[in-house]
């Protein structure tokens, strides 16, 4: 019966390969997934579908139920209700098949510390039924890919945090999975390490058509590489989609943000900006201490030169449509000096933050 | 049990996949990946079976390389050499005394005596073994599950296509293999050294008696291994589980006998009671004693190594005592005599394995928690 199934599937293999990029079929399909621990509901009726070749970011604060969801996808925990289908396989009923196709990197990944990185990888490969010789070859290749070739024979106990995460990525990839699930892959690595790791993940996903699900609470890191994100709070997926959708879905709030560095800020100017059609809010930001000081220094020189005592300000103007040009014009015509203009989109951090600002009334406990 | 059920269920689930082409045919994106996975799987022979042996191999290797194992081995080897020394001294003394008095030394089962006699300076091999063997089991097993959990390797391994029970089984099988290797090499070490020193070769019967005694020792150590596995599943901290193992070990070795004799004293029927009451009470006490694996092992091993032991019953009627031929039991009869003890040890092993099994299967695999 296995052979018959394989034959049937193999017939469509060629087409599938070419269609992969265009075809948007879901690889991970969650329907009403629920997990309760006694009275506590960790995951509450989760519906989610993730397409082939997509990088999906599962975002949420600690304890939102991200890890529990992942464990249910892998069949390591049984859901209280609902179903989870990965690569067309039921995670609860066929966990072995699912685990063959899915590479999972737990948060805070652990290795056998008195074995070398190479040995750890070979062991994982052999658990997946790869013969010793091939396992060794694959491990070497992957170690090179993640930049650990020199450290291959070093014991993993001596690895740094960033090296461990990269080894973790190699460990996930050695079974040649269709889907990789990364739980907090960027936890505890320095910014440069995070950047490298994310680039690596993105490259692998693009080159090999891998579907990637990564969970994180570091929003700005994740937004760099994710095609879509899902915001996960208290066991519920409150929004999902790309950034714009997410922002709209959440509260219909502004999606565009323009930062203006203005020397000669006055409340009249604020009025002018507010009167520009489509502007939702204008606020002076004290965001970056470093940038602020620089701006002040500039303003100081300005003041000496022109005798105008007004300090420079960085103003953030939020709007629902792109108003960059109009705003610049408004500032210039009002007579103030426009020192800088940055068009930014609302980042995940803002969306997240905004949600939780409003979220207090929904009874958030912490 | 989950893995077992899963294995039984596997063909059915594959059939389900074949029966519903809609799952694969309808969406060409997913089947491409499925086909790749399926093709790969076809190349692999017996996937989960080999994964099990890969785990056993790795565990075994880990044990052998560990400092802990080296220290244990050194300790037990020292104990062995000490016990051989003391038994050989005792044998030589006996021989000198015999030649002094002009009589022949009793050479029947002389070889076995190496394992059971002592000149009093050190305990004999059997006593040493029954004392130290549990320590080997505890030392090998006490951190097998919880250290993997604490290091975060458990969740990594469990996310591979590996049955959860295979993980526990691999731990047990690797530990047991190691124990068998240690016990047998120690046994043969004693035999070989004894052979060199006393120059008196064993008869086949003696050889087999020793081998069976070593097998029983392996099973006995396996019991302690299982017990420590249970603790390692149950307790999150390796130190707690080690301490629990040692506590149980000391309890059975030191306190259990005391407690039984206390109970025995308290329940002794008064002098007016009949013989039936006495026998009844003694039987109960015997049963209590035999709950202790240490006692069972002592009985089984000493019966095998001392062919003169004709019965393990505390009560022998006068007729039985008079009419019995004063001769050692044959190998087969000794084996029959200890059979219940062996079964009891195996049963206790199975019981503690079942307990750790159930505990492990019910636990949730999460990283480091």
Answer yes or no: is pLDDT of A63 > 50. Answer: yes
What is the reported pLDDT for A13?
Answer: 40
When pLDDT is cut at 50, 70 and 90, the band that residue B30 belongs to is: very low
Query: Is residue B99 less than 8 Å (CB to CB) from chain A?
Result: no
- How many Å from the N-terminal Cα to the C-terminal Cα in chain A? 53
pLDDT band at A18 (very low <50, low <70, confident <90, very high): very low
Which of A1, A9, A106 comes nearest B31 by C-beta?
A: A9
Asked, for residue A318, whether it belongs to a domain, the answer is yes
Percent over 70 (pLDDT), chain A: 77
pLDDT of residue B355: 93
Nearest to B156 among A23, A106, A178 (CB): A106
Q: Is residue A309 located within the same domain as residue A212? A: no
- The reported pLDDT for the residue numbered A284 is 78
Domain boundary among A200, A227, A250: A250
Phi, psi of A309 (to 5 degrees): -80, -5
pLDDT of residue B13: 39
pLDDT tens for each residue of B98-140: 777 776 666 677 788 888 887 878 888 888 888 888 998 999 9
pLDDT at A161: 85
Residue holding tokens 């394989």? A6
Residue A116 clears pLDDT 50, i.e. is over it: yes
The partner residues of A28 in beta bridges, in order of sequence, read A50, A86
Chain A residues with CB inside 8 Å of B2's CB? none
Give A228→chain B minimum CA distance, Å. 19
Is residue A172 in some structural domain? yes
- How far apart are alpha carbons A191 and B284 in whole angstroms? 71
Q: Are residues A107 and A42 in the same domain?
A: yes
B69 touches chain A (CB under 8 A): no
Q: Which residues contact A49 (CB under 8 A, 6 or more apart)?
A: A26, A28, A29, A30
Last residue of a domain, one of A250, A285, A314: A250
Q: Are residues A309 and A222 in the same domain?
A: no
For A27-44, the DSSP string reads: EEEEEEEEEEETTEEEEE
Look at residue A185 and tell me whether its pLDDT is greater than 70.
yes
pLDDT digits (tens, 9 = 90+) for A332-348: 888 888 888 887 766 66
Average pLDDT across chain A, whole number: 77
Q: With CB atoms and an 8 Å threshold, state whether A23 touches B156.
A: no
In a shared domain, residues A260 and A245? no
Token pair, residue B159, equals 């996310």
Residues A129 and A90 in one domain: yes
Contacts with B366 from chain A: Cβ below 8 Å: 67, 71
Nearest to B152 among A89, A106, A127 (CB): A106
Question: According to the per-residue pLDDT averaged within each range, which of A16-30, A82-96, B165-179 is highest?
Answer: B165-179
Output the pLDDT for position B354.
93
Query: Over 70: is that where the pLDDT of A121 sits?
Result: yes
Per-residue DSSP letter, A264: S
Residues in chain B closer than 8 A to A93 (CB atoms): 9, 13
A23 to B157: CB separation less than 8 angstroms, yes or no = no
Is residue A84 within 8 Å of A72, Cβ to Cβ? yes
CB B157, CB B148: distance < 8 Å: yes
Pairing of strands A211-216, A55-59: parallel
A319 at the B interface (CB within 8 A)?
no
Contact A87 B367 (CB under 8 A): no
Closest chain B C-alpha to A240 CA, distance in angstroms? 22
Q: Is the pLDDT at A102 greater than 60, yes or no?
A: yes
Q: Where are the alpha helices (DSSP H) in A146-185?
A: 161-173
Q: Which domain holds residue A100?
A: 24-250
pLDDT in tens, A31-43: 889 988 888 888 8
B11, B21, B22, B32: best to mutate for the A interface, most A CBs within 10 A: B32
Same domain, A228 and A272: no
pLDDT at site B329: 77
Shared-domain flag, residues A154 and A222: yes
Q: Is the pLDDT of residue A124 over 90?
A: yes
Distance CA B326, CA A20 (A): 87
Does the beta carbon of B318 lie under 8 angstroms from any beta carbon of chain A?
Answer: no
Task: Answer whether residue B15 shows pLDDT above 50.
Answer: no
Distance of alpha carbon B134 from the chain centroid: 8
Compute the distance between CA of residue B135 and CA of residue B142 in angstroms, rounded to an integer: 10
Q: Are residues A112 and A231 in the same domain?
A: yes
User: What's the confidence (pLDDT) of residue B19?
Assistant: 38
Q: Is A289 on the interface with B (CB under 8 A)?
A: no
**Between residues B129 and A365, which one has the greater pLDDT?**
B129
A350: in domain? no
Give how many domains chain A has, as a whole number: 2
Q: Are residues A269 and A170 in the same domain?
A: no
Report yes or no: B161 and B353 within 8 Å, Cβ to Cβ.
no
Closest approach of B329 to chain A, Cα-based (Å): 50
Tell me: do A162 and A72 sit in the same domain: yes
A298 is a domain residue: yes
At A330, the pLDDT band (50, 70, 90 cuts) reads confident
Q: How far apart are CA B103 and CA A284, in angstroms?
A: 113
What's the CA gap between B43 and A253, in Å, rounded? 54
Q: Check which CATH number belongs to the domain holding A340 and give it.
A: 3.30.70
The reply to whether A61 and A151 lie within a common domain is: yes
Band (B347; pLDDT cuts 50, 70, 90): very high
Residues A219, A269, single domain; the answer is: no
Helix (H) or strand (E) holding B65: helix B47-65
Look at residue A300 in the predicted model and tell me its pLDDT: 46
Chain A / chain B CB contacts < 8 angstroms: 186
Q: Give the Å distances, CA to CA, from A250 to A66, A231, A247, A287, A359.
A: 19, 10, 5, 23, 11
Q: Which residue of A has its CA nearest to B163?
A: A96
Q: Which of B29, B151, B154 sits opposite A16 (nearest CB)?
A: B29
Instruction: Identify the band that residue B314 occupies on the pLDDT scale cut at 50, 70 and 90.
Output: low
Give me the residue from A16, A112, A129 closest to B32, CB to CB. A16
Q: Does B18 touch chain A (CB under 8 A)?
A: yes
Q: Where along chain B do its domains lie?
A: 47-362
Q: What is the pLDDT of residues B222-244, one digit of tens each?
A: 999 999 999 999 998 999 999 99
**Is residue A178 less than 8 Å (CB to CB) from chain B?**
yes
Mean pLDDT of chain B, nearest integer: 80
What CATH number does residue A194 fall under? 3.40.50.300
Say what the ipTM of the complex is: 0.76
Nearest CA in chain B to A19: B29
**pLDDT value for A2:** 44
Asked if A73 contacts A103 with a C-beta cutoff of 8 angstroms, the reply is no
The 10s digit of each residue's pLDDT in B171-225 is: 999 999 999 998 898 888 888 888 888 787 888 888 898 899 999 999 999 999 9
- The DSSP call for residue A360 is G
**Shortest CA distance to A119 belongs to which of A109, A132, A128, A107?**
A132
Do B29 and A52 make contact, defined as CB atoms within 8 angstroms? yes
Which residues of chain B neighbour A52 with C-beta distances below 8 Å?
29-30, 33
Residue B49's pLDDT band (boundaries 50, 70, 90)? Answer: low
């Amino acid at each position: 019966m296995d052979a018959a199934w394989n034959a049937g599937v193999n017939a469509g293999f060629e087409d599938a390969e070419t269609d992969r990029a265009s075809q948007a079929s879901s690889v991970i399909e969650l329907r009403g997934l629920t997990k309760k621990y006694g009275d506590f509901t960790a995951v509450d009726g989760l519906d989610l579908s993730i397409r082939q070749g997509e990088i999906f970011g599962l975002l949420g604060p600690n304890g939102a139920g991200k890890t529990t969801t992942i464990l249910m996808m892998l069949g390591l925990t049984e859901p209280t209700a609902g179903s989870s289908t990965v690569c067309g396989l039921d995670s609860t009923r066929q966990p072995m098949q699912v685990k063959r196709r899915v590479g999972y990197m737990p948060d805070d990944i652990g290795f056998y510390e008195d074995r070398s990185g190479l040995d750890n990888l070979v062991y994982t490969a052999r658990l997946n039924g790869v013969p010793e010789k091939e396992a060794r070859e694959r491990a070497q290749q992957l170690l090179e890919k993640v930049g650990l070739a020199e450290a291959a024979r070093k014991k993993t106990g001596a690895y740094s945090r960033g090296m461990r995460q990269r080894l973790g990525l190699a460990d996930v990839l050695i079974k040649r999975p269709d889907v990789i699930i990364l739980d907090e892959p960027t936890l505890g690595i320095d910014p440069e390490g995070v950047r490298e790791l994310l680039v690596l993940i993105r490259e692998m996903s693009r080159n090999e058509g891998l579907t990637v699900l990564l969970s994180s609470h570091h929003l700005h890191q994740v937004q760099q590489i994710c095609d879509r994100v899902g915001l996960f709070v208290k066991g519920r997926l409150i929004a999902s989609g790309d950034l714009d959708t997410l922002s709209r879905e959440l509260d219909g709030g502004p999606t565009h943000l323009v930062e203006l560095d203005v020397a000669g800020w006055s409340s009249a100017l604020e009025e002018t900006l507010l009167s520009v059609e489509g502007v939702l809010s204008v606020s002076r930001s004290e965001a970056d201490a470093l940038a602020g000081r620089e701006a002040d220094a500039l303003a100081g020189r300005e003041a000496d030169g022109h005798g105008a005592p007004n300090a420079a300000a960085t103003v953030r103007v939020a709007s629902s449509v792109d108003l960059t040009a109009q705003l610049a014009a408004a500032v210039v015509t009002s007579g103030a000096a426009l020192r800088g203009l940055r068009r930014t989109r609302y980042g995940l951090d803002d969306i997240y933050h905004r949600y939780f600002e409003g979220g207090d009334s929904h009874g958030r406990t912490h | 049990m989950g893995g077992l059920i899963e294995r039984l269920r596997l063909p059915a689930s594959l059939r389900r996949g074949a029966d519903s082409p809609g799952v694969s045919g309808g969406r060409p994106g997913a089947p491409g990946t499925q086909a790749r996975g399926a093709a790969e799987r076809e190349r692999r022979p017996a996937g989960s079976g080999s994964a099990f042996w890969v785990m056993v191999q790795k565990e075994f290797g880990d044990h052998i390389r560990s400092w802990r194992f080296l220290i244990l081995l050194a300790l037990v080897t020292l104990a062995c050499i000490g016990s051989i020394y003391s038994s050989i001294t005792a044998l030589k003394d006996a021989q000198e005394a015999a030649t002094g008095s002009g009589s022949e030394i009793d050479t029947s089962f002389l070889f076995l005596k190496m394992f059971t006699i002592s000149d009093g300076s050190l305990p004999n091999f059997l006593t040493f073994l029954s004392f130290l063997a549990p320590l080997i089991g505890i030392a090998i097993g006490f951190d097998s599950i919880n250290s993997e959990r604490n290091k975060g390797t458990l969740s990594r391994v469990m996310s591979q296509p590996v049955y959860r029970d295979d993980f526990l089984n691999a731990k047990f099988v690797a530990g047991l293999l190691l124990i068998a290797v240690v016990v047998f090499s120690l046994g043969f070490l004693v035999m070989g050294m004894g052979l060199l020193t006393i120059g008196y070769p064993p008869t086949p019967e003696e050889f087999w008696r020793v081998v069976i005694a070593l097998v029983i020792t392996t099973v006995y150590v396996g019991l302690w291994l299982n017990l420590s596995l249970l603790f390692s599943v149950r307790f999150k901290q390796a130190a707690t589980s080690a301490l629990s193992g040692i506590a149980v070990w000391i309890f059975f070795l030191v306190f259990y006998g005391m407690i039984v004799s206390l109970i025995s004293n308290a329940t002794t029927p008064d002098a007016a009671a009949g013989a039936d009451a006495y026998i009844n009470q003694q039987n109960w006490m015997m049963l209590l004693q035999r709950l202790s694996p240490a006692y069972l092992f002592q009985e089984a091993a000493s019966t095998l190594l001392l062919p003169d032991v004709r019965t393990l019953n505390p009560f022998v009627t006068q007729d039985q005592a008079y009419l019995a031929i004063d001769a050692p039991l044959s190998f087969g009869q000794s084996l029959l005599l200890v059979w219940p003890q062996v079964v009891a040890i195996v049963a206790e092993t199975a019981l503690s394995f079942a307990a750790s099994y159930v505990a492990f299967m019910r636990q949730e695999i999460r990283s480091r928690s």
